Structure 1
Amino acid sequence: MELPINPPVEPMLARSVSELPTGAGMTYEPKWDGFRCIIFRDGDEVELASRGGKTLTRYFPEVVEQARRQLPPRCAVDGELIVIRRDGPDGQPRLDFDQLNQRIHPAASRVRLLAETTPADFVAFDLLALGDEALLELPYPQRRARLEAALAHVRPPVHVTQISTDAATARRWFEVFEGAGLDGLIAKPADLPYEPGKRLMFKVKHARTADVVIAGFRWHKSGPVVGSLLLGLYDDAGVLHHVGASASFTMARRQELLDELAPYRTGVDGHPWTHGDHESGQRIPGAPSRWSGKKSLDWEPLRPELVAEVAYDAMEGDRFRHTARFVRWRPDRDPRSCGYDQLDRPVRYDVDQVLHGDPAATT
């Protein structure tokens, strides 16, 4: 492969901000919930490079084929790999990160099957090289114009993300696009060059809190202190489901937590998770998967009497999409009152509208 820039190239990143940035020439685009991917194409040679520099090429043969069919003969395009689920219970297409995760499989036969049954789309949002020209030094608006021209004729499953320079439109996107499975917005200053590995863009993500039952914990890998708290929520039938974990603590705090949890480590006979059943639809901790690898799945039950407030950004089905952040204990809350009904569920929104252009958007 002989391009003006060749892999590995660390993608440019964004830093989190709490408010939508504004300013002359600021450009906004949806924040896609998928695998960051830079596609390098030099004729028939195609490389899909992940954010960490690892190759994704063997896992997405259908994307490689689309790159050969639709991308310029020699280019480097920054974007996102996504999987769209179209058979959900409400019938609306939305992003499905779980299905995307399942695409990373060691068996070639499984890779081929998944490429047919859950094919990935590619959403382009930046152009790093075209022909013999490297574009990294160009301001973002110029790179965007070159991207639109170079990919003017692409068709699904290849897309060019929509953008807006109107802050009011961006705020509307932030509210409604979450229902399509997106998790926020990206803001790019007008004079922004492309600097690999630097956090020069801005990202705004949804942030919420929920009161959860602390029904177990895992040990820290470094020694006998708390590694993570296991979080639970009750459904309408009174079944306690494992919905995620909270794990970001200092070592001093991990020791304190062990002391605070000690009274709840006794009397755990009949714990709802040690007697739970995956086949009945109950989510319980400790289920092995190919993603856990050699990671220990052992956990310690606690009497489900402690309630904590945690911060989370989004749900993936009936669990927290990412690790939740511990906020505080809630001794005033009845554990049985910690149900799914407290969660803020986004309005469903068609991901095809996000991909093909929101008719209400303005630039």
Structure 2
Amino acid sequence: MRVALAETVGSLPRGAGLEYEPKFDGHRMVVFRREDGVVLQARSGRIVTAAFPDLAEAARLLPAGTVLDGEVVVWREGRIDFAAVQGRAAATPGRAPRLAERLPASYAAFDVLGADGADLRPRRFEVRRERLVELLGALGPPLQAVPMTTDPEVAAVWFETLPEIGVEGLVVKKLDQPYRPGVRAWRKLRHTDTRDAAVVGFTGPAERPASLVVVLPDDDTPVVSSPLPPALRSRAGAALRRLPAGGQATAMAVGLGEVAYREVAAGLLAEVATGTTRHTVTTVLRLRPPEG
């Protein structure tokens, strides 16, 4: 299932008929509660049910036929940890149960696409929101509806205060809007054009990589950064030596198409600057130390 998307804006939209939600720094996921079990799908379409056994088990409490859209996050010391949730998403079925115990995931649902045997995507958002709250209100963590407000002043306070816990901005939707898969009908306001991305691989030699391959928040599609400057190549090589290397894979590089890269284990974050979509140039600004 394709998910609805958001277009980046430079200021807080205001006007009648709008609602505002915190934008969590996590991993986009669609939850399908079927008659025979639960399926968890990442934004790319990849099935990640085995990587999140804790969320799959929690979703069994939903009525059959429920389809949710939302964000998976991992909380550590009162803050959202994007590297941790990316590590959860990349876990093998053998490691996933142990990671679920050590780094339990939470699901912040912001839409319901199906319920009661009906496709709710053509319905107005305010109708879907009401049904979402009804579905999740009795369950509680780890499945919860994201906070929302129709008051732009409350949203402005959220925008200024919530980044300290890992909320990167706001998503703004129209109350009368249907759910439009693959369309940037929502709007998102971020504090800056820079954010932390999880490093999942590199191109070139390990000791002086030419580029890093990263996964951005709210996505699970690896992208190749622009070429690293010489000083950053040395620092990246030193940081990558601490991470177990994996196999070969391919990722999209702007202007080049699919290129081969070497995978590495999760644990290293890079601060990157990006455009408004995952197909624009991603520039690595600096590295964050891998977790020891």
* Fold agreement, TM-score > 0.5: yes
Q: In 2 relative to 1, CA 33–290 (structure 1 residues): closer, same or farther, beyond 3 Å?
A: farther
* Correspondence for 1:205: 190
* Correspondence for 2:11: 19
Structure 1 segment 116-131 matched on structure 2, within 5 A? 116-131=101-116
**What is the Cα deviation at residue 35 of structure 1?**
1.1
**What is the Cα deviation at residue 296 of structure 1?**
4.7
Structure 1 segment 303-342 matched on structure 2, within 5 A? 320-323=270-273
Amino acid at match of 1:190: L
Would you say the 8 A contact 1:24–1:190 is kept in 2? no
* Correspondence for 2:95: 110
1:67 and 2:59 matched: yes
Structure 1 segment 1-363 matched on structure 2, within 5 A? 9-69=1-61, 71-86=62-77, 93-105=78-90, 107-207=92-192, 228=211, 247-248=225-226, 273=235, 284=239, 287-289=242-244, 293-294=248-249, 295-296=261-262, 320-323=270-273
> Secondary structure of the residue that 2:66 maps to in structure 1?
strand
Q: In 2 relative to 1, CA 122–106 (structure 1 residues): closer, same or farther, beyond 3 Å?
A: closer
**What is the Cα deviation at residue 122 of structure 1?**
0.9
Distance in 2, Cα, partners of 1:275 & 1:56:
30
* Correspondence for 1:223: none
Would you say the 8 A contact 1:123–1:158 is kept in 2? yes
Distance in 1, Cα, partners of 2:130 & 2:51:
31
> Secondary structure of the residue that 1:170 maps to in structure 2?
helix
* Backbone CA RMSD of aligned residues: 3.8
Seq. identity, %: 34
> Secondary structure of the residue that 1:79 maps to in structure 2?
strand
Amino acid at match of 1:14: A
Distance in 2, Cα, partners of 1:36 & 1:287:
28
TM-score scaled to structure 2, two decimals?
A: 0.72
Moved more, 104-113 or 165-174: 104-113
Amino acid at match of 1:94: R
**What is the Cα deviation at residue 43 of structure 1?**
3.1
Distance in 2, Cα, partners of 1:106 & 1:51:
17
**What is the Cα deviation at residue 321 of structure 1?**
3.9
Would you say the 8 A contact 2:84–2:103 is kept in 1? yes
5+ long unaligned stretches in structure 1? 1-8, 87-92, 210-216, 221-225, 230-245, 249-253, 266-270, 277-283, 298-316, 327-337, 341-363
Q: In 2 relative to 1, CA 290–82 (structure 1 residues): closer, same or farther, beyond 3 Å?
A: farther
The structure 1 segments of at least 4 consecutive aligned residues displaced by more than 6 Å after TM superposition are 217-220
Would you say the 8 A contact 2:246–2:262 is kept in 1? no
Would you say the 8 A contact 1:31–1:185 is kept in 2? yes
> Secondary structure of the residue that 1:81 maps to in structure 2?
strand
Distance in 2, Cα, partners of 1:81 & 1:319:
18
The aligned length equals: 248
* Correspondence for 2:256: none
1:26-81 CA-to-partner distances (Å, cap 9, x unmatched) read 10000011111111112341110111111010111111110012x22321111111
5+ long unaligned stretches in structure 2? 195-201, 213-223, 250-260, 276-280
Give the number of the structure whose residues are more often strand, by fraction: 2
Quick check: which has more Rg, 1 or 2? 1
Would you say the 8 A contact 1:27–1:189 is kept in 2? yes
Amino acid at match of 1:45: G
Moved more, 104-113 or 21-30: 104-113
TM-score scaled to structure 1, two decimals?
A: 0.59
